Amino acid sequence: MKKIYKKWLKKASKKLDEMLGKLLPVLMLFFIINLCFPHIAIAKGNEPLPQLPLQAGRFEYLTEEDASAKSLLPKIELRDPQYTYNIWVTTYNSLSAQTDSTPCITASGFNLCENDQENIIATNFLHLPFGTKVRFPELFGDKIFTVEDRMNSRYYGTADIWLRDNARAKTFGKKWTTIEILPFKR
């Protein structure tokens, strides 16, 4: 019985070696092709975040002198969000300790103290252009915020909401939430 088993094992081993000898080059070729030419589904997951187009038209900042020009500008309506991401959200105030020597003036030139609107954010996220409209649905529902300020480059994946009250800003803290970037209809 042992003799038959050894004979069968030797024959099976020889056939296995023959099959591996033929199969191994095919497997290696398949592996090399997959390494050199990855599938589209794999490559799509690694593509960079899209560069958002510059946004046009911000009617709410026109002065009374520009009221006549207001009717000449194109009407822009907001649509459903075009991009949705998860980022950290914090708050800030117009204090020189939190900003620079001109705490009321944003990087775009908008005066926070004069306009007193709590719908302005500072962000470097995706290099969103000034005037871009965003929402934080989990925190503020349908309230729309406008990008008017920049943050220090070390806070890349963060948005900073301007609040007039320092106590409220401190209690807000830092929250992980969804940001919806709204496109403009032309």
pLDDT of residue 56: 44
Residue 148 CB-half CA count within 13 A: 21
How distant, in Å, are the alpha carbons of 44, 133, 135, 155, 176 from that of 139? 31, 16, 9, 20, 10
Over the chain, what is the mean pLDDT?
A: 75
What are the backbone dihedrals phi and psi of residue 140, each rounded to the nearest 5 degrees, phi first?
-125, 10
Whether the Cβ atoms of residue 159 and residue 89 lie closer than 8 Å to each other: yes
- The arithmetic mean of pLDDT across residues 133-156, rounded, is 87
pLDDT of residue 64: 52
Whether the Cβ atoms of residue 120 and residue 148 lie closer than 8 Å to each other: yes
pLDDT greater at residue 93 or residue 138: 138
Whether the Cβ atoms of residue 78 and residue 185 lie closer than 8 Å to each other: yes
> In this structure, are strands 83-92 and 120-123 parallel, antiparallel, or unpaired?
unpaired
pLDDT of residue 164: 82
- The string over 61-84, giving b where at least 16 C-beta atoms fall within 10 Å of a residue's C-beta and e elsewhere, is eeeeeeeeeeeeeeebeeeebeee
